[in-house]
Structure 1
């Protein structure tokens, strides 16, 4: 989808309308604010605002992030503005309304837009592969612990004739999968229920790939995944704004540094029943105020080689003492994972 098409999404249009409502309201009711004298009087407020906007423009990693951040600042400014002028009566339909209604209605509209029109996922060009939890386990388990995992996944896929991602299974003495046909059918039904529930929440045009047994454009069968290659996997949560903002940077890296032995992938941990276990395994904090999202980890042969945000240190037992924040930019990913050299044999960490 083109940039213009992405920015014409109802989420961005509604938030832009909310952001501009107070300035338009003031211009209509107080046209004198556009006079040279008035602008000069307010310049001490405008200059710091322009400096802040400039910083955000330079730091934004995508047009979607820029629009979202600027809309948020403008909405906060508008909310304060409506409160500041709440003592001014509002003439509407030949009647005078108490000015406080503007503040209340604006806050209500903001809440409705926030709930009904959540930020959409990135819909631009991308080569990022969507993983389910079984595929993640397959790619992040050292080879010595799953030497026959790939073959078993292929065999299981053929036995079941699934039109979905194969998974690693245990075989009994007769080389038959341990899970029964009833379990398989139940798993498929649960996957369809999760798919229907998620699309009910995010709309029919949601382009998420889920662990629901359905194969989608950016998802591959487990048998097509090679753990001996380099895998840069983003650990995300669908409710996290930083993860949404990073999707464009991740997609850009996946296109720019696409190689036969280098792959970019992602997993939305909150879409899987074992999401908390995944977060615990990789020491990712999923609290609402966390700075761990998104977390990027580079794997090869099932072993983690590098990570963003970087760990400060670890103590005995593997507990993470802390992590250093990062800006989620393409340049930071390029530097941390040596993308220009990755897969060429010139990496410094191999």
Structure 2
């Protein structure tokens, strides 16, 4: 799906419109706010906000994240603006209304947009492989590469019993579905707007696997999908693969989180977590562990910027799979 189509999703359109509410209100009812004297008088508020916004913009890793960040900051500014003029009565339909109705109406609209138009998953090109719990265990447990481990994973995997309505389609060079009978051998098979799955027989634990542990309710996970998708296209090799599992969508999600010591609390800084595996053994992880104590229990993790450069540096993606990587297997 093209960038323009992705940004025209109702989630982004509704949030941009909502963000523009207060600036539009001021321009329509108080055009004097655009005067140079008024802007200069409020510069002590405007300049710090612009600096903070520019920092967040520079840190955005995709167009979707950029739109989300800008809209969020302007919505916060708009809420403050409506609160600041709450003492001014509003004229509507020939009647005078309390200025606090503007604040309440804006909050109600914000809540309605949040509920009705949740942030969509990344819908651009990707070579990320979606895993179920059995496949994850097969790839992350040492000694599973033999026939018994594969048979067990095949038996437990739900891929064999998935509904036929989840049709796998192949995309052309413009990321549009091919007509029946057309073949494009150079493109990735995708499912459910970019979803790619493989049978257990195609999963080789002897290869390098960079697996993202996500939760669909986590905004950082949603925003990171575009970064991981770019990495999966740029750095995928014959023996290097990118995969993900949404822990809130599988019954074993809590056990998976406990096994890899990933917090699923609403305030967690662990999501998304990326771990590099080979032969079922973890080699590198983001966010980085900051220490351990007796027994190997993790004391904590240090945050990271979730940028493509961070992923490439941590997992040595330029060298990964070439035999020149610095970590031992």
TM range (shorter): 0.7 to 0.9
Residue equivalent to 2:296: 318
Q: Under a length normalisation based on structure 2, what TM-score does the superposition of the two structures give?
A: 0.87
Q: Under a length normalisation based on structure 1, what TM-score does the superposition of the two structures give?
A: 0.82
Q: CA deviation at 1:58?
A: 0.8
Residue equivalent to 1:106: 106
Residue equivalent to 2:220: 242
> Is residue 62 of structure 1 aligned with residue 62 of structure 2?
yes
> Is residue 138 of structure 1 aligned with residue 116 of structure 2?
no
> Is residue 272 of structure 1 aligned with residue 259 of structure 2?
no
Residue equivalent to 2:47: 47
Q: CA deviation at 1:237?
A: 0.3
Residue equivalent to 1:152: 151
**Is residue 153–residue 222 contact of structure 1 (8 Å, CA) maintained in 2?**
no
Q: Secondary structure at the match of 1:96?
A: strand
Residue by residue over 1:209-241, the C-alpha shift from the partner in whole angstroms, topping out at 9 and shown as x without a partner, is: 79xxxxx85011111111100000000000001
Q: 1:104 to 1:20 in 2, by over 3 A?
A: same
Q: 1:149 to 1:112 in 2, by over 3 A?
A: farther
Cα distance in 2 for partners of 1:131, 1:26 equals: 50
Cα distance in 2 for partners of 1:234, 1:40 equals: 47
Q: CA deviation at 1:165?
A: 2.4
Q: 1:156 to 1:324 in 2, by over 3 A?
A: closer
What count of residue pairs does the alignment treat as equivalent?
302
Q: Secondary structure at the match of 2:20?
A: helix
**Is residue 87–residue 98 contact of structure 2 (8 Å, CA) maintained in 1?**
yes
**Is residue 138–residue 150 contact of structure 2 (8 Å, CA) maintained in 1?**
no
Q: How does 1:324-335 map to 2 (within 5 A)?
A: 324-335=302-313
Match of 2:159 among 165, 169, 192: 165
**Is residue 231–residue 300 contact of structure 1 (8 Å, CA) maintained in 2?**
yes
Q: Which of structure 1's runs of 4+ aligned residues deviate more than 4 A? A: 153-157
The structure that is helix-richer by fraction is: 1
Residue equivalent to 1:199: none
Q: CA deviation at 1:98?
A: 1.5
In structure 1, stretches of 5+ residues that fail to align are 167-187, 196-207, 211-215
